[in-house]
């Protein structure tokens, strides 16, 4: 596909197809609807399947079936739709089935609005379904990363037999940017655990039910060992001007892009600022914060929410430095100038700035 100017939402679908995804089950919702539209167009052209399900609940369970058959499959939605998928995501994790789910975040709670927000962080990173499980979560900030991290999500999902999330705000999903696609598609994996409807795989049984208390505990312990391996191998982040940074800004998605400009503004004002942009929200990149402590005197978390990633940053810093917060909600995107005013202590907005929470 070469080099194209497309929306981030469409880049997700084309990245998925290049990653070997051959089925999409979903239900349209703004600001994620272009994903369903692109999947309806391109999945059949690649020899795959597109089904508009009757609901988000149906879509995630269709993904369960496709994944159980050994197929790379995906769905996408936004906040209200993801709420309906939570039980199915827990079932996928419990049955150890790989699947990629894109969440293009909108304003909430409730119906909220269709503006960009980051209020789904807790729901997706902490696991909104029941039981003991984690989802692998990638946070793109560019249309290029919408493609690249979707491909990476499929590989991680297969490797760890677990649902993986592409968590992007509505701004990133709707923004048009140039995207360079790889020249070759990923080879389709063949799973010896799948049930493909033949004699060879008839012995395979995929389920998340363990009627024995001891069996379920052993299964959960197996999951915990798998997650511990993911914590060691998957964390990823991007940093900017951290070599001598005394104040470290932290943000993901579109906020990470805003903060890069805020760092440049701060440097012009004589403030030694730097940036950590987490790429994996789970596992969280602890190492990035350990390394930043060599020069950092304080941290400032910037989110388009009430401060949900803030608590993961505070856990990573572990009270070794003060951690402040600046947030916007309802579809409002912070500007570099606002962040600079917070850094300089000249912005007085108690409803959005909570230092040292």
Same domain, 64 and 123: yes
Give the per-residue pLDDT at 349: 62
CATH of the domain at 270: 3.40.50.920
d(CA 64, CA 86): 13
353 has a pLDDT exceeding 80: no
Q: Is residue 351 one of the residues assigned to a domain?
A: no
- Per the prediction, the chain carries an average pLDDT of 95
Same domain, 159 and 103: yes
Same domain, 131 and 62: yes
Q: What are phi and psi of 76, to 5 degrees?
A: -155, 155
Same domain, 222 and 241: no
Which residues, 6+ apart, have CB-to-CB distance to 209 below 8 Å? Answer: none
Same domain, 50 and 184: yes
Q: Partners of 278 in the beta sheet?
A: 237
d(CA 243, CA 319): 21
Question: Of 77, 75, 116, 115, which is closest to residue 97 (Cα–Cα)?
Answer: 75
Same domain, 118 and 222: yes
Q: Is residue 60 one of the residues assigned to a domain?
A: yes
How much is the average pLDDT of 300-315?
97
In the listed set 174, 203, 233, which residue is the last one of a domain according to the structure? Answer: 233
User: Where does the pLDDT of residue 351 fall: very low under 50, low under 70, confident under 90, or very high at 90 and above?
Assistant: very low
Question: Of 312, 136, 138, which is closest to residue 230 (Cα–Cα)?
Answer: 136
User: Where does the pLDDT of residue 196 fall: very low under 50, low under 70, confident under 90, or very high at 90 and above?
Assistant: confident
Q: Is residue 352 one of the residues assigned to a domain?
A: no
Strand pairing class (136-138; 280-282):
antiparallel
Give the per-residue pLDDT at 347: 79
Same domain, 213 and 249: no
Same domain, 197 and 263: no
* pLDDT, tens digit, 9 for 90 and up, residues 163-176: 999 999 999 999 99
Count up the domains in the chain and report the number. Answer: 2
Question: Of 266, 240, 265, which is closest to residue 251 (Cα–Cα)?
Answer: 240
Same domain, 307 and 338: yes
Q: Is residue 80 one of the residues assigned to a domain?
A: yes
Q: Partners of 32 in the beta sheet?
A: none
159 has a pLDDT exceeding 50: yes
187 has a pLDDT exceeding 80: no
CATH of the domain at 153: 3.40.50.970
Same domain, 244 and 268: yes
Q: Is residue 129 one of the residues assigned to a domain?
A: yes
283 or 190, greater pLDDT: 283
350 has a pLDDT exceeding 70: no
DSSP assignment of 238-285 = EEES-TT-SEEEE--THHHHHHHHHHHHHHHTT--EEEEEESEEES--
How much is the average pLDDT of 191-220?
92
328 has a pLDDT exceeding 70: yes
Same domain, 116 and 253: no
The radius of gyration of the chain's CA atoms, rounded to the nearest angstrom, is 20
241 has a pLDDT exceeding 50: yes
In the listed set 191, 218, 233, which residue is the last one of a domain according to the structure? Answer: 233
Kindly report whether the peptide bond that precedes residue 283 is cis, defined as omega within 30 degrees of 0: yes
Per the CB < 8 A criterion, the answer to whether 68 and 74 are in contact is: no
How much is the average pLDDT of 311-316?
97
User: Where does the pLDDT of residue 355 fall: very low under 50, low under 70, confident under 90, or very high at 90 and above?
Assistant: very low
Question: Of 72, 55, 54, 62, which is closest to residue 25 (Cα–Cα)?
Answer: 62
Q: Is residue 357 one of the residues assigned to a domain?
A: no
User: Where does the pLDDT of residue 137 fall: very low under 50, low under 70, confident under 90, or very high at 90 and above?
Assistant: very high
Question: Of 5, 123, 12, 2, which is closest to residue 76 (Cα–Cα)?
Answer: 12
Which residues, 6+ apart, have CB-to-CB distance to 205 below 8 Å? Answer: 195
352 has a pLDDT exceeding 50: no
What domain range includes position 18? 3-233
Which residues, 6+ apart, have CB-to-CB distance to 304 below 8 Å? Answer: 116, 117, 118, 119, 169, 253, 254, 255, 327, 328, 329, 332, 333, 334
In the listed set 169, 201, 233, which residue is the last one of a domain according to the structure? Answer: 233
Which residues, 6+ apart, have CB-to-CB distance to 223 below 8 Å? Answer: 93, 96, 132, 133
Strand boundaries in 78-155, DSSP class E = 99-107, 113-116, 136-138
Question: Of 20, 24, 53, which is closest to residue 38 (Cα–Cα)?
Answer: 24
Q: Is residue 355 one of the residues assigned to a domain?
A: no
Q: Is residue 353 one of the residues assigned to a domain?
A: no
How much is the average pLDDT of 38-57?
97
65: exposed, middle or buried (Cβ count in 10 Å: 0-12, 13-18, 19+) = middle
User: Where does the pLDDT of residue 357 fall: very low under 50, low under 70, confident under 90, or very high at 90 and above?
Assistant: very low
Give the per-residue pLDDT at 356: 42
pTM exceeds 0.85: yes
350 or 256, greater pLDDT: 256
Q: Check residue 296 and report its DSSP letter.
A: -
Same domain, 21 and 144: yes
């Amino acid at each position: 596909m070469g080099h194209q100017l497309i929306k981030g939402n469409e880049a997700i679908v084309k990245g998925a197809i290049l990653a070997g995804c051959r089925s999409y089950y979903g239900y349209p919702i703004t600001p994620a609807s272009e994903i369903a539209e692109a999947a309806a167009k391109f999945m059949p052209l690649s020899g795959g399947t597109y089904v508009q399900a009757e609901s988000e609940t149906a879509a995630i369970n269709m993904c369960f079936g496709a994944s159980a058959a050994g197929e790379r499959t995906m769905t996408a939605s936004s906040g209200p739709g993801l709420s309906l998928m939570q039980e199915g995501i827990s079932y996928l994790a419990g049955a150890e089935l790989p699947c990629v789910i894109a969440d293009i975040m909108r304003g909430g709670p409730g119906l909220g609005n269709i503006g960009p927000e980051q209020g789904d962080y807790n729901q997706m990173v902490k696991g909104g379904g029941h039981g003991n499980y984690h989802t692998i979560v990638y946070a793109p900030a560019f249309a290029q990363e919408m493609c690249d991290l979707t491909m990476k999500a499929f590989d991680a999902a297969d490797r760890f037999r677990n649902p993986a999330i592409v968590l992007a705000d509505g701004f990133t999903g709707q923004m048009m940017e140039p995207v360079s696609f790889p020249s070759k598609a990923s080879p389709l994996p063949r799973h010896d655990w799948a049930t493909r409807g033949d004699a060879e795989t008839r012995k395979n049984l995929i389920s998340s039910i363990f009627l024995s208390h001891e069996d379920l505990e052993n299964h959960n312990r197996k999951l915990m060992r798998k997650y511990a391996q993911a914590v060691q191998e998957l964390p990823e982040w991007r940093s900017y001007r951290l070599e001598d940074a005394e104040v470290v800004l932290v943000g993901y998605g579109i906020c990470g892009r805003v903060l890069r400009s805020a760092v440049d503004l701060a440097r012009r004002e004589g403030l030694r600022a730097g940036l950590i942009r987490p790429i994996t929200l789970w596992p969280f990149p602890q190492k990035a914060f350990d390394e930043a402590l060599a020069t950092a005197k304080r941290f400032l978390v910037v989110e388009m929410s009430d401060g949900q990633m803030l608590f993961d940053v505070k856990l990573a810093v572990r009270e070794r430095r003060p951690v402040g917060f600046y947030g916007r909600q309802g579809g409002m995107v912070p500007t570099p100038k606002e962040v600079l005013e917070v850094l300089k202590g000249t912005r007085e907005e108690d409803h959005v700035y909570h230092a040292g929470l």
